[in-house]
């Protein structure tokens, strides 16, 4: 009589044992190899744009560029948003200590390059240094009549731990320091400052986000100073820095970084018509000596276009 093997749900180990004995030697080896090989898991790279700020458009481009660079470089890195929202100073400190954050992006300074490991490729081609002036709508005609000297003498505002605060002061602008980003918009609304210089990459998303405050962009003027924003990682992560640099250079060579730049900023650049504005060129006393100013391909210039 032919014997039947019956699977007993209440006795799974018996059924598994019977099946195992019926496997060929080659099949057994394949199963053991599969069980012994850990699944390849991506190494998380925690970046400093919190999930809670996903609606803030200013973080979209750096995150997209980081993902593009790491994808180009290969490997198993997986960029992931931080679960915490921090001030800029705390963010830099956490990356420096390797605590909760692996990477951030910010305007470079000598002090930041001493504390952290920079990838010296301006991720936004220096757009952060093209500064339009946020004002209240009723002041538009007034700003159209100002001279450059009169503009400098008006009170403006910046967060006190931003490098921009020191840059504008160095160039003779009257700056009111603030400790809170959102507070600067209320200072403008209440007339405590006359304008708030914001990067071309920031100004339109901020006008859209500040739904309870009427804002406008001052006519005629644009400020400019070299302002390279780099990716920064912990100094103990040279392999991560190398992967990001490799991916960025590949993206520059194949044009995908330029295409991403146009996708994110092309409309804003065209809309602001920077080439028609009067440019007030400023010195940036915080530029490290290693800044790649001589490589024109890395920088946007309103007088040349894209």
* Number of Cβ within a 10 Å radius of residue 172: 10
Q: Residue 204 above 80 pLDDT?
A: yes
Nearest alpha carbon to residue 58 among 128, 117, 136: 128
Q: Is 123 helix (H, G, I), strand (E, B) or coil?
A: coil
- Evaluate whether 96 touches 202 at the Cβ level (below 8 Å): no
Q: Is 65 helix (H, G, I), strand (E, B) or coil?
A: helix
- Evaluate whether 257 touches 174 at the Cβ level (below 8 Å): no
- Lowest mean per-residue pLDDT among 34-38, 199-203, 208-212, 281-285: 34-38
Expressed as residue numbers, the domain containing 29 is: 1-37
306 within domain boundaries: no
One domain for residues 292 and 169: no
- CA 116/CA 126 separation, integer angstroms: 20
One domain for residues 115 and 238: yes
One domain for residues 52 and 200: no
303 within domain boundaries: no
- Evaluate whether 121 touches 257 at the Cβ level (below 8 Å): no
264 within domain boundaries: yes
Q: How confident is the model at residue 280 (pLDDT cuts 50, 70, 90)?
A: very high
One domain for residues 26 and 171: no
Q: What is the mean pLDDT of residues 226-234?
A: 96
| Domain termination site, one of 204, 224, 244 | 224
- Lowest mean per-residue pLDDT among 121-130, 158-167, 215-224, 243-252: 158-167
Domain count, the chain: 3
Q: What is the pLDDT of residue 21?
A: 55
One domain for residues 242 and 262: yes
248 within domain boundaries: yes
258 within domain boundaries: yes
- pLDDT tens by residue, 79-131: 999 888 888 889 999 999 998 899 999 999 999 999 999 999 999 999 999 99
Q: What is the pLDDT of residue 59?
A: 60
Q: Is 47 helix (H, G, I), strand (E, B) or coil?
A: strand
CA distances, 228 to each of 107, 182, 192 (Å): 6, 24, 30
- CA 306/CA 299 separation, integer angstroms: 9
One domain for residues 163 and 32: no
Is 275 exposed, middle or buried, given 0-12, 13-18 or 19+ CB atoms closer than 10 A? middle
134: left (phi over 0), alpha (psi -120 to 50) or beta: beta
CATH number of the structural domain spanning residue 109:
3.40.190.10
- pLDDT tens by residue, 247-261: 999 999 999 999 999
Residue where the block lists tokens 């590949």: 250
Q: Quick one: DSSP state of residue 294?
A: T
The model's pTM is 0.76
């Amino acid at each position: 009589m032919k014997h039947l093997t019956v699977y007993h749900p209440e006795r799974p180990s018996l059924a598994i044992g019977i099946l195992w004995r019926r496997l060929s030697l080659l099949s057994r080896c394949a199963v053991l190899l599969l069980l012994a090989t850990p699944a390849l898991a991506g190494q998380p790279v925690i970046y400093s744009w919190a999930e809670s700020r996903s609606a803030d458009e200013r973080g979209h481009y750096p995150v997209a560029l980081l993902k593009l660079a790491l994808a180009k470089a290969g490997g198993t890195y997986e960029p992931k948003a931080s679960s915490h929202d921090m001030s800029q100073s705390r963010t830099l400190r956490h990356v420096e200590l390797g605590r909760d954050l692996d990477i951030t992006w910010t305007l470079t300074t000598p002090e930041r390059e001493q504390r952290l490991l920079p990838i010296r490729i301006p991720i936004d081609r220096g757009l952060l240094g093209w500064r339009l002036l946020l004002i209240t709508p009723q002041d538009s005609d007034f700003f159209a009549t100002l001279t450059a000297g009169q503009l400098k003498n008006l009170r403006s505002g910046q967060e006190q731990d931003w490098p921009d605060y020191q840059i504008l002061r160095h160039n003779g602008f009257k700056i009111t320091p603030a400790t809170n980003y959102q507070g600067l918009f209320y200072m403008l609304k209440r007339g405590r400052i006359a304008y708030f210089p914001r990067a071309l990459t920031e100004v339109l998303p901020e006008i859209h986000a500040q739904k309870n405050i009427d804002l406008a962009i001052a006519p005629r003027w644009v400020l400019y100073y070299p302002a390279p924003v780099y990716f920064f990682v912990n100094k103990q992560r040279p392999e991560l820095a190398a992967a990001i640099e490799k991916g960025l250079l590949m993206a520059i060579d194949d044009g995908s970084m330029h295409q991403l730049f146009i996708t994110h900023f092309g409309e804003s650049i065209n809309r602001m018509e920077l080439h028609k504005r009067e440019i007030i060129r400023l010195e940036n006393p915080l530029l490290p000596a290693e800044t790649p100013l001589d490589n024109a391909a890395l920088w946007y210039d309103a007088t040349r276009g894209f």
